[in-house]
C-alpha cells in the first residue's frame, strides 16, 4: 500500500513536471512573439532612418549632376571665349572656374554614391537585436529541455 502511494506520488510529480514544462514552453513562445513584435518595430524605424540616408545620397548625386552640367557649360563658354578673344585672361578665368566646378561635382558625386552602398543601408541594429533574441530563446529552450530531463 505504501509502495502504491509512492508510485502514485511519483507519477503525479512527473505529470506536474510535464505540465510545468508545457507551461514554460507556452511562456517562451509568448515571449518570442513579443520579441518579434518589438524587433519588427525596430526594423521599421531603422528602415525609415535609412530612407533618410538615401535622401541625402540622392540630394548630393543631384547636386553633382548640376555641378557637372555647369562645368560643361562653362567649358563651352571658355572655348567660345578663346575663339572670340585671343587674349588669355578671359579664357584662363573661365577654365579655372570650370575646373573648380568639375572638381566640386566629382566630390559630390563620390559622396552621394557612397550613400548608396549596401552596408550603409542594412538595418544592422534590428539584425543584431534579432540575433540576440534568438540566442536568448535558444538558452531558454535548452534550459527548459535540461530541466525537463531532470524531472
Residue 30: which residues within 8 A CB-CB, separation 6 or more?
none
> Mutual orientation of helices 89-114 and 2-84 as an angle, nearest 10°?
170
Give the up-direction half-sphere exposure of residue 17: CA atoms within 13 A in the CB hemisphere. 14
- The three cell numbers of residue 111 are 559622396
The pLDDT of residue 6 is above 60: no
Task: Please tell me whether the overall predicted TM-score, pTM, comes out greater than 0.95 for this model.
Answer: no
128 in a domain, yes or no? no
29 in a domain, yes or no? yes
5 in a domain, yes or no? no
4 in a domain, yes or no? no
Residue 39 near residue 130, CB atoms below 8 Å = yes
> Mutual orientation of helices 2-84 and 124-150 as an angle, nearest 10°?
170
6 in a domain, yes or no? no
> What are the tens digits of pLDDT across the range 45-81?
888 888 888 888 899 999 999 999 999 888 878 766 7
36 in a domain, yes or no? yes
The pLDDT of residue 27 is above 80: yes
Number of domains the chain is built from: 1
- The three cell numbers of residue 51 are 530612407
Q: Which residues span the domain enclosing 70?
A: 14-122+133-150
Amino acid at each position: 500500500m505504501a509502495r502504491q502511494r509512492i508510485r502514485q506520488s511519483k507519477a503525479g510529480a512527473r505529470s506536474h513536471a510535464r505540465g510545468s514544462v508545457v507551461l514554460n514552453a507556452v511562456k517562451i513562445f509568448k515571449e518570442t512573439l513579443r520579441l518579434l513584435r518589438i524587433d519588427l518595430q525596430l526594423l521599421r524605424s531603422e528602415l525609415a532612418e535609412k530612407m533618410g540616408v538615401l535622401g541625402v545620397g540622392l540630394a548630393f548625386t543631384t547636386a553633382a549632376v548640376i555641378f557637372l552640367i555647369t562645368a560643361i557649360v562653362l567649358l563651352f563658354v571658355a572655348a567660345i571665349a578663346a575663339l572670340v578673344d585671343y587674349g588669355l585672361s578671359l579664357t584662363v578665368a573661365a577654365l579655372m572656374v570650370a575646373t573648380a566646378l568639375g572638381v566640386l561635382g566629382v566630390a559630390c558625386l563620390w559622396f552621394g554614391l557612397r550613400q548608396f552602398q549596401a552596408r550603409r543601408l542594412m538595418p544592422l541594429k534590428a539584425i543584431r537585436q534579432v540575433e540576440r533574441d534568438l540566442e536568448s530563446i535558444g538558452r531558454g529552450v535548452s534550459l527548459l529541455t535540461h530541466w525537463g530531463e531532470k524531472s
